[in-house]
Amino acid sequence: MSRRILISRSLSVAEEEEVRLLQHQGWQVHNRAGEGPDPDVKRRINYAVMDELLALGDLPVNDQVFSDLFRVGHASLWHYHKFRIYFTVRNLCYELEQSGLTGEPDRDVIWYAGRDWAPLGRLFPRVEFRLEKKEKEKLNALTLAGYLLTFCVRLIVSLFASRSRPEYLIYFAEKYSTLLDRETLRPVKGHHILEYLLDRLDHRFGLLTEVIVPKLKGRSDYLFDINYLKTRWAGCRKQMIEPFIVKAWLNRKLRKELSVSSGRLEAAYDLARQGRMSLHQQMALEIMRSLHGSSCFYLFRYYAAQRFFRQARPRAVAASDENSPMSRTILDAARSCGIAIAGIQHGSIHDLHPAYRYTAGDREKGVMPDLTLVWGKSGKQFLLDKGNYPNGSVMEAGQIRTDVIPDLLKREQKSKGKAPLVVFASQPQRDPGLRWQAAYDVFSAVSRMEGCRLILRLHPREFNDESYYRSIAEKAGCSGYITDIRSDLYELIASCDLLITCFSTVGTETIYFNKPLIVLDHLKQDIQGYVREGVAFRATGADELHGLIRDILNGTRTIDPEKYRMFIENYAYRIDGKVAERVIGAITSM
């Protein structure tokens, strides 16, 4: 039986020559580079991988379950990595589907694959992986110098700052963007999720903040901001994390404890392999093993925060993005000291969001926060039913950012005589094929609309992607569009005639303004439920998108206002300018 060569990435000139030589020696070549499964197969993989990874956490291994093997105190490493692992396994499964390797191949295979396959060689003993060589990236020397200077200044400022012991702490990573001041409706710097809460806090609250370590190689979005060095924000005193991070690193006992925990995790990987796992679950384990360095970093943060909370002793600690590893290490450390913890919803909740999907076993271990404040009753019901959150631990409060909407809508005056404005809210999708196709479809559709203005609203993580979208726009024959990453999102939504997105939270926020929304949904998954709820139109390609844009702008397609009202009730509770007040009340009553 002939041997096979699989290609799922672009090849270098030397590799192309290598493939030609192997082909002359009788190897069959299957080039799948740039291809992917059809939408129905992708959809099946998305849900199958989610179900298998949820089950993996509760998988029996000897006298324990899988997630317990990677639990140190209240720090559950499996849950720290679950989000990242899900998307990595899912994307690799797309390639696996195309390769035809559903198990151990019955013949030798050479696979020219991406670097994500690096940890998985032991699962495919008859496959010789030839991985894409990592491009040599320069050290971001200026970024490193800027961060180290910021770190040192924050450390010094903290040493001389007056001490306080607030009853409640709000944790967030300091990164400021442009938003609207609630009183003046003028652009100001602020935290994009929490600002309207922060400016309503009183003397009982303090802010636990840090500046996240930037990427030292490759692209980095780190920019120095003078606000990093301020000891107060929005009237509240900051407690900067940097001092207790340094104290922890200088503590010999803590470093020894970290070393012991690292060794225990090393043993756990081998022990976990004794469980009866599916191929996808085995892939998840091997990827987690490759993230051992990150696990140790998270444990260090957990131990450092523990030392801080043993002294600080607030009544409660709250955070948005509460399921990300950086936030969870802080919250789990607080919980280990008997302090109540709360999560504040920061993005849409849906079936394929790993951060909000837990099992009954997770609930018994108390993995979720004591209180989770969600936008509306739909999110609450999802967390109770599909997220397995404990009864009484989820409360509807609304979305903090919407507190500016009532005042913004009062000010809005639609400019007469101007060409209609379409906004495309992009996002860095983890499926590169769909990301490219979405942008191409938008540029292609709008290029056929005479007298229509287009604003490309980049996601914050796409800070350096203008050239990426420019090349797609050129291919689609679209010119004259504007790229926007800095203006206030809500002001942009208020001024547009139509917004297009894939599954971004921006879609939800567009509905709050009763603005027309088109969802580019190539896989017909309707992840956010916008189409099902009747508050958005769905397009699956450029032609369909063009027709919808045309019909919406000329008024022949509209949304029933009652659908908007019901959606807001389900997903945002109330747009009344009082979300911050409800959040404060909920935290102080814990």
pLDDT at position 160 over 80: yes
Residue 276 makes CB contacts below 8 A (sequence gap 6+) with 59
Q: Which domain holds residue 216?
A: 147-240
CA dist., res. 371 & res. 392, Å (int): 8
Is 46 within the bounds of a domain? no
| Stretch (H or E) spanning 355 | none
In contact, 216 and 139? CB cutoff 8 Å: yes
Same domain (yes/no): 485, 428? yes
Same domain (yes/no): 300, 338? no
Return the pLDDT at 447.
93
Mean pLDDT of 220-235: 89
- Give per-residue pLDDT as tens, 453-495: 999 999 878 878 899 999 999 999 998 899 998 888 888 898 8
Closest CA to 481 of 432, 426, 543, 555: 426
Place of tokens 């030292």: 216
| Residue 206: strand, helix, or coil | strand
Same domain (yes/no): 414, 495? yes
Return the pLDDT at 102.
65
**Domain ends where: 312, 331, 354?**
312
Beta bridge partners of 499: 423, 517
Dihedral sign computed on CA atoms, order 372, 378, 383, 385 = positive
pLDDT at position 413 over 80: no
- Give per-residue pLDDT as tens, 519-533: 999 999 888 889 999
Same domain (yes/no): 566, 431? yes
**Domain ends where: 136, 162, 179?**
136
| Stretch (H or E) spanning 120 | none
**The pair of three-digit structure tokens given for residue 126, joined into one six-digit string:** 């008859």
Number of domains making up the chain: 5
Return the pLDDT at 333.
98
| Stretch (H or E) spanning 153 | helix 141-160
Closest CA to 213 of 239, 174, 244: 174
Is 331 within the bounds of a domain? yes
CA dist., res. 183 & res. 305, Å (int): 36
pTM: 0.84
**The pair of three-digit structure tokens given for residue 64, joined into one six-digit string:** 């324990």
Closest CA to 307 of 334, 277, 272: 334
User: How is the beta sheet containing 421-425 ordered, strand by strand?
Assistant: 482-484, 453-457, 421-425, 498-501, 517-520, 537-539
**Domain ends where: 271, 286, 312?**
312
Mean pLDDT of 171-198: 92
Same domain (yes/no): 464, 525? yes
Return the pLDDT at 217.
81
Place of tokens 């000891």: 231
CA dist., res. 397 & res. 405, Å (int): 16
Same domain (yes/no): 307, 330? no
φ, ψ dihedrals at 186, nearest 5°: -105, 150
Is 441 within the bounds of a domain? yes
Same domain (yes/no): 164, 127? no
pLDDT band at 177 (very low <50, low <70, confident <90, very high): confident
pLDDT at position 288 over 80: yes
Same domain (yes/no): 234, 379? no
Is 72 within the bounds of a domain? no
pLDDT at position 417 over 60: no
Beta bridge partners of 320: 344
- Give per-residue pLDDT as tens, 43-97: 999 999 999 999 999 999 989 999 999 999 999 999 999 999 999 999 999 999 9
Return the pLDDT at 227.
94
Query: At how many degrees (to 10) do helices 279-290 and 39-57 cross?
Result: 70
Same domain (yes/no): 414, 393? no
Dihedral sign computed on CA atoms, order 486, 487, 488, 490 = negative
Closest CA to 558 of 567, 548, 566: 548
**Cβ atoms within 10 Å, residue 350:** 18
Is 557 within the bounds of a domain? yes
**The pair of three-digit structure tokens given for residue 164, joined into one six-digit string:** 């306080």
pLDDT at position 435 over 60: yes
Q: Identify the DSSP state of 448.
A: T
Could you give the C-alpha distances from 205 to 451, 510, 584, 588, in angstroms and in order?
51, 32, 10, 9
| Residue 533: strand, helix, or coil | coil
Mean pLDDT of 556-572: 91
Return the pLDDT at 104.
61
Return the pLDDT at 106.
62
pLDDT at position 2 over 70: no
What CATH number has the domain bearing residue 503? 3.40.50.2000
Place of tokens 């769905």: 538
Q: Identify the DSSP state of 139.
A: B
Return the pLDDT at 236.
94
What b-and-e string marks burial along 237-251, b requiring 16 or more CB atoms within 10 Å of the CB? bbbbbbbbbeebeee
Mean pLDDT of 116-127: 92
**The pair of three-digit structure tokens given for residue 49, joined into one six-digit string:** 């991988």
Is 44 within the bounds of a domain? no
CA angle, corner 575, sides to 571 and 581, nearest 5? 100
Return the pLDDT at 320.
93
Q: Identify the DSSP state of 74.
A: T
Residue 469 makes CB contacts below 8 A (sequence gap 6+) with 426, 439, 456, 458, 483
Same domain (yes/no): 392, 335? yes
Query: At how many degrees (to 10) do helices 77-99 and 325-336 cross?
Result: 150
Same domain (yes/no): 87, 208? no
Return the pLDDT at 428.
85
Same domain (yes/no): 20, 123? yes
Query: At how many degrees (to 10) do helices 242-250 and 292-312 cross?
Result: 110
Is 297 within the bounds of a domain? yes
Is 500 within the bounds of a domain? yes
CA dist., res. 136 & res. 218, Å (int): 9
pLDDT at position 105 over 80: no
Mean pLDDT of 328-341: 98
